[in-house]
A and B are shown apart, each in its own frame.
Chain A
Amino acid sequence: MRNWRLFGRFLAKLVPLMEDIRQTGCVTFAVSEARDGMKVVPSRSSEWVRPVTSQKPASAIIEIDRVSQVFQTSARREHLALSDISLTIEEGAFVSILGPSGCGKSTLLYIVGGFVSPTSGAVRMKGQTITGSGPDRGPVFQEFALFPWKTVLGNVMYGPRQQGVRANEAEAQSRALIEMVGLKGYENFYPKELSGGMKQRVALARTLAYHPEVLLMDEPFGALDAHTRTRLQNDLLNIWERDRKTVLFVTHSVDEAVFLSDKVVMMSKSPGRIREVIDIDLPRPRRRNELLLDPRYQKYVVDIERMFDESDEAGSLS
């Protein structure tokens, strides 16, 4: 009897939750760890958790080693934003960190960037412990963070100039990059004259200009409308296919994570933990119109969404 009732409640909650995730990409329920042995293990987990299947032996470029982050929210309260995160990112991999708002996924990215110091644990880049930011890790933020007093060209040239590249050389490289991100003709525009999508293209070009080994993308398309978002995803993939830089990509959109990534790291919140690491075994180069019809793609999306639902369900029932 009790089981049936539970199942009924489960179904009742599942429908609005699915809508939630589809629309906002985030889960409005508090996720907490399953207790009393009620941990929900997704029945088909074995089907999508596969061993790494890349041909060449991948070498680790970033190692996140038992990182925890505690924020002081008020005089006496502390919030455990990240709890004991360990993750290895291989060179040339496109890795997405996927999770609900407030799961600490952006904080994790800032720690890798060296903008925030972890409370405990360490991050290593090529074996070297990260103590601060550096041009080997280039961030792209949701807020664009362009320099508004510089033109598009000035923004893109800023990094190379800072690195000591000569002006005419930096300009030539920057012009090429601006063309690559599809903004040829906008070199002398100021950021305020550009739309959100264009600003993010400039931000991407600006970061690519100083040749970071790792791109750190913090919900870069989160502030854009659906159409622009899709176009930028496609363009990002095309650009990425050329040199296959290592990308760490934070998002709350399941579709986006699956479409772009080799590997999706699912996080749960309060405290932020890694729930699952899923290898996305889809062929590249990926084309949106083919992929959306591909049952394998659809299955990844549905399975990941279901996992989020189940974790919420486990949290709210226990």
Chain B
Amino acid sequence: MMSPSAVTKRAAPVLACIGLLAVWQVASLALKNDSFPTAIEAIRAIPDILGDKESLINILASLRRMTIGFGIAVLVSIPLGLLMGRSRAVAAFFNPLLMVIYPVPKAALMPIVMLWLGVGDITKTLVIFLGVSLPVIYHSFEGAKAVEEKMLWSGAAMGLSPLQRLVRIVLPAALPEILTGCRTGLVLALITMITSEMIARQSGAGNILFNALDMGQYDTVYAMIIIVGAMGICLDAVFERVRARLVRWSEPQFDMPLSFS
């Protein structure tokens, strides 16, 4: 049996979604604008998109690029961030570089990258990679920096070499912080995925959305927005499951059921 407060907690996100859709429905009916379909019309359009082979291939291609970009970014950024956190020399070298790249919207780099690498998968994956890297590097860096010196000394006394200490003490100790960075990175990957496809319109979920807009199929536009949003929520929920499992040992902390970052 769940307590009443637990039921409320479970039901709250669902109620919020229903509330949003209801407001949408009412607003759309009131405005009677062709470019603003009702929520029910948009939701009805979803099976059409997901049933269409072409669209499905496009969406899967998007997800593939996102997965590759995210994966490579995580594999590169975590070691780099950890090294920066434990070595002042490495941090001094990379910090200025990252400071320059950080505030630049990664989509703004698209035109330049397209000139060099074309409008294909490589360009889009690279932009996703850039978008994900920075928060992961930053959080890995902060996490590694915060590792207690005495914990490393304890490891050193047991005979761990500097590299072993980095992999077997700094990495697990910084893991909660690293995964926070990865979670932000995941959401950014989804955002950059769509933006990259808006700019280099060739294939992908972003492309479907903009093609529909060009052709005035507004219910498809809104349906795509719902699909992208749902993908974000699912990815985040799965990641949060994994994260919670990996860092069960760390302090319990207040957490929103959904991420809106």
Contact of B158 among A110, A141, A162, A190 (CB under 8 A): A162
Kindly list chain B residues whose C-beta atoms are within 8 Å of the C-beta of A114: 156
Are A115 and B156 within 8 A (Cβ)? Answer: yes
Q: Report the minimal beta-carbon distance from B246 to chain A, rounded to whole angstroms.
A: 9
Are B151 and A113 within 8 A (Cβ)? Answer: no
Are B158 and A113 within 8 A (Cβ)? Answer: no
| Interchain CA distance A142-B153 in the complex, whole Å | 13
Are A138 and B157 within 8 A (Cβ)? Answer: yes
Interface status of B34 (Cβ within 8 A of chain A): no
Residues from 240 to 288 in A contacting B, C-beta threshold 8 Å: none
Interface status of B48 (Cβ within 8 A of chain A): no
Are A149 and B154 within 8 A (Cβ)? Answer: no
Q: With A133-B153, A139-B154, A143-B148 given, is the CB distance from A163 to B159 under 8 Å?
A: yes
| Interchain CA distance A149-B159 in the complex, whole Å | 19
| Interchain CA distance A206-B160 in the complex, whole Å | 15
Indicate the member of A137, A141, A207 with the most B CB atoms within 10 Å: A141
Are A192 and B158 within 8 A (Cβ)? Answer: no
Interface status of B172 (Cβ within 8 A of chain A): yes
| Chain A residue at minimum C-beta to C-beta distance from B169 | A147
| Interchain CA distance A222-B156 in the complex, whole Å | 23
Contact of B157 among A113, A146, A149, A192 (CB under 8 A): A113
| Interchain CA distance A145-B247 in the complex, whole Å | 18
Are A149 and B175 within 8 A (Cβ)? Answer: yes
Interface residues on A, range: 20 to 34
Residues from 156 to 174 in B contacting A, C-beta threshold 8 Å: 156-160, 169, 172-173
Interface status of A159 (Cβ within 8 A of chain B): yes
Are A139 and B175 within 8 A (Cβ)? Answer: no
Are A145 and B157 within 8 A (Cβ)? Answer: no
| Interchain CA distance A110-B157 in the complex, whole Å | 11
Are B153 and A210 within 8 A (Cβ)? Answer: no
Contact of A147 among B151, B156, B157, B248 (CB under 8 A): B151
Q: Report the minimal beta-carbon distance from B57 to chain A, rounded to whole angstroms.
A: 42
Interface status of A148 (Cβ within 8 A of chain B): yes
| Interchain CA distance A155-B225 in the complex, whole Å | 48
Q: With A134-B159, A162-B160, A163-B159 given, is the CB distance from A148 to B154 under 8 Å?
A: no
Kindly list chain B residues whose C-beta atoms are within 8 Å of the C-beta of A190: 248-249
Q: Report the minimal beta-carbon distance from B171 to chain A, rounded to whole angstroms.
A: 10
Kindly list chain B residues whose C-beta atoms are within 8 Å of the C-beta of A191: 249
Contact of B172 among A139, A147, A192, A207 (CB under 8 A): A147
Are B249 and A137 within 8 A (Cβ)? Answer: no
